[in-house]
Amino acid sequence: MYETEVNSEVQSADQLPPEVIRAFSASRDTISMRTVLPWGEHCTECVWPTCYATCDLYEARPDGNCRRFVDGMVRIDSKGSLSGYLLKIRFKQWGKLWTFGNIRLHSLRTAARLENRDYNI
């Protein structure tokens, strides 16, 4: 999962080389369960929220938090991939991809259902 509420751009998988799409699709044959993690953009130098008023790198997202990726998380629909999509991320200075981890495993079908529900909400 990713922050769909502030990352609504979707691009075509046509921009990716076919061998990249095949490589991501190959994992479906060997993986039967996975976690569902809420990935988000964060800053390695963050002192949130005071940095919003003092940091020269602050750029507001639609929710007012700081945009740490150039275009946010751009969804690339890729039906054959493990989650049905890939994310294109271009990091800005001090940007990092971060999540709370968990070890709860879901079948691929259940994980997809949970992510689709999040995406639709």
Q: Is 29 exposed, middle or buried (0-12, 13-18, 19+ CB in 10 A)?
A: exposed
What parts of the chain have a pLDDT lower than 70? none
pLDDT of res. 79 = 86
pLDDT at 84: 87
The pTM assigned to this predicted structure is 0.83
Q: For residues 36 and 39, what is the distance between their CA atoms, to the nearest angstrom?
A: 9
Residue with tokens 């988000």: 40
Note the pLDDT tens digit of each residue in 42-74. 988 877 778 888 888 899 999 988 999 999 999
Residue at token pair 């075509």: 12
Q: How many CB atoms lie within 10 A of CB 48?
A: 11
Q: Left, alpha or beta for 94 (phi > 0: left; psi -120 to 50: alpha)?
A: left
